[in-house]
Amino acid sequence: MDNRTLDNKKAWEQAYDHRNYDENTVIEILKTNPTRYLNADLKPILDTTIKPGNTVMQFCANNGRELLAIAKHYDVKGIGFDLAANMVKSANEKAALLNLDAIFHATDILDIPVTFANQADVLVLTVGTTAWFKDIQAFFNKCHQVLKPGGILILHEIHPVVLMLAAEGEDNYDANLPNNLVNDYFDNKEWVSTAGMGYMSSLEKSYPFFDYSHTIADHLNAIIDSGLTIRTFNESPIDYGTIFGKKIPKGVPLSMVIIATK
């Protein structure tokens, strides 16, 4: 685990310790309406992809709510991985409480041991995953490793074009021109913030966390070079990353889904 990953681990664990939601609410939703955690672009794909008896994996599984929703709704085995030990602990506690066939492991995704190779029928990557990895090729190589032959990768992610837009509160944001493309699409730089994980934590000042810009070509080529075969690529105007608040840019792709097979 490199220094940046250790920094992100510390930041994620801090954010979870100061979370702005109640895990009891998550448990109740998982009991009564688990598909609430499967969004409108993702659920139809899962409906036609997941089969009885499948093993479904998730990288960057957070507090486990999405994978637990999949395990409950589709009655399958779930295996999740996340960097933050406290979130993994909570995910395993929820799995036990709900009597679901799911287990979560605390690890750097790039350090997932080879013992998990060829185990996943379906690997689900949800919004906000790939930006945490500077070496996106190494990340997709790990995706290829854990999938069974014939296994399916489903990547639902923020569209890289979003990186060209300014969000409210940023220095180059213009409320009158929210569709302005003001950032360099090809600037594959490291981003650092100490402003907290706003969608999880109420902290205004946090440990620093680091993420990275990747173009569409970066994603597609890394998937292809890993040995996976891309089957479909779709774009959506829905802001699943909740980056833009109420003033969502119109006519711009804000999220995407890539499906690939091994």
Concatenated DSSP letters of 12-70: HHHHHHTBSS-HHHHHHHHHH-GGGGS-TTTHHHHHHH--TT-EEEEES-TTSHHHHHH
For 215, the 3-state DSSP assignment is coil
Measured CA to CA, the distance from residue 233 to residue 95 in angstroms comes to 32
14 Cβ contact list (under 8 Å, min separation 6)? 201, 203, 206, 207
157/247 Cα distance (integer angstroms): 20
Measure the CA–CA gap between 139 and 172, rounded to whole angstroms. Answer: 31
**Chain mean pLDDT for the chain:** 93
Q: Which two tokens stand for residue 146?
A: 């854990």
Of 242 and 208, the structure prediction assigns the larger pLDDT to 208
Q: What are phi and psi of 47, to 5 degrees?
A: -60, -35
Q: Alpha-carbon distance 170 to 168, whole Å?
A: 6
Helices (H), the chain: 3-17, 23-32, 43-49, 65-74, 85-97, 136-146, 216-225
pTM of the predicted protein model? 0.95
Distance CA 1, CA 112 (A): 11
**Residue 170: which pLDDT band, with cuts at 50, 70 and 90?**
confident
- Residue 147 is predicted with a pLDDT of 98
| Of 109, 164, 162, 116, residue with least CA distance to 133 | 109
Distance CA 177, CA 254 (A): 16
- Gyration radius from the chain CA atoms: 18
Q: Are 166 and 183 in contact (CB under 8 A)?
A: yes
pLDDT for 200-211, tens place per residue? 888 889 999 999
Domain 37-187+217-261, what fold?
Rossmann fold (3.40.50)
pLDDT for residue 64 is more than 80: yes
- Tokens for 181, please give them: 């493309």
Predicted confidence (pLDDT) at residue 133 exceeds the cutoff of 90: yes
Whether the predicted pLDDT of 168 surpasses 80:
no
* Domain locations in the chain as residue ranges: 37-187+217-261
41, pLDDT greater than 80: yes
